[in-house]
Each structure stands twice: as structure tokens, then as C-alpha cells.
Amino acid sequence: MKSTFKISALVLAFAGLAYGAKAQTSTPASSAKTTTSNGIIWSVGVDAGLPTGNLSNAYNWNLGGSVQADIPVVQNQLFVTVNAGYNNIFGKNNIDGTGLDATNIQLLPVKAGLKYFPVSHLYIQGEAGAAFALNKSDLGFDNSAAFIYAPQVGYQFPIGGKSFIDAGVRFEGSTKFNSTIDDSKVNFVALRLAYAFGTK
């Protein structure tokens, strides 16, 4: 439980530093790109993916949703991201003909990171944080949370005004949810398709 608190505190502290950095950063309007809003960008999205590695032996796919805030640090080029969501990883029935069914994994991920636009609309993003197991006892986990990391690449499709569709593909990996079982890592490749809008 102490480690869960520490991870949560780190994520919140990182978000706080991001707001501080935003307040002290200024970019002349003449040098700014015009790909996105100048204020915070909010997005609400659907996440879907496929388990990788040993997780794919007992699990088929995952589905969830997330809310994300992109906080500008360098206008229209570099953002700090804060993301929270829900993921359900669906277990297979009758695994390898054994008659056993895998219990769904229900996770609440909280992440923070950086989002960089090397060219208009195309971005590279990296996040880290914690995933909290909502059904820990059903799965036999001895950790309530695990460290997660998620490199991502994506593209923003303008749909008018300050709104656009944000489509990103990421790999999301975790440390062990059960300290004695190497196969308790939750790794998957996912697509996030989100509606995003600027606040300015």
C-alpha cells in the first residue's frame, strides 16, 4: 500500500510541475505553429488492444476508455500529458482445452508524460505512472498497483475549429502485479481513438 501511495504522489507531483512549467514558459506568437490550440487540450477516448507476451496465452483483448489533458509547455510543439482511464482485459474461456477460464483483469491506469510534435499533427508521446488492479483478490495479485510505461506515436486529424480526432498507437507495459510470478506483468499493444478540443 505504501508503494501505491508513493507512485500516486509522484504522478501528482509531476502534474504539478507541468503546470508550473507552463506558467513560466512563453513563446512568441510569430514563431508558433498553428496545429493546435494555445491552451490546455482535453480529449476523451476509447482504448482497445491486444495482449502481448505470456499474457496473450490466457487473454484475448482489452477495451477501455481514458481522459487526457495536454498542457502546453512550448506552444503547439511540446506538451505535458496527464491521463487517467479504465481497462478491462478479457480472459479466454477453456484455456488450451483445460476447461479453465481466465478472470478478466480490471485496471485503473494513471499516467503522466510528454507529447512532442516533430511536424504538424504528427506526435511522439511517452508516459509513465501506475495501474491499480480493481479486482486484485479475484486474480491472486499481492500488489494493488504496478508501475506502467507507454511509448506512443499518433496523429491529430482536424475536424473544424479547435476540435480534432486524436489517433495513437502505443505499447503499454507493466511491472509484476504478483511479486513471485513473472507472468503477472500486463503488457499490450493498444489503439486510442479520441475526440479532442482546445480550451483557447
6 three-state secondary structure: helix
Determine the Cα–Cα distance for residues 100 and 94; give it in Å rounded to an integer: 5
Lowest pLDDT segment from 95-104, 130-139, 163-172:
95-104
Q: For 137-182, what is each residue's pLDDT tens digit?
A: 999 999 999 999 999 999 999 999 899 999 999 999 999 999 998 8
pLDDT over 80 (residue 19): no
pLDDT per position as a tens digit, 23-68: 444 443 333 333 455 689 999 999 999 999 999 999 999 999 999 9
Q: Is the pLDDT of residue 6 over 80?
A: no
Name which of 5-14, 85-94, 169-178, 188-197 the model is least confident about. Answer: 5-14
Beta strand ranges found along the chain (DSSP E): 41-51, 59-74, 78-91, 105-119, 122-133, 145-160, 163-174, 188-198
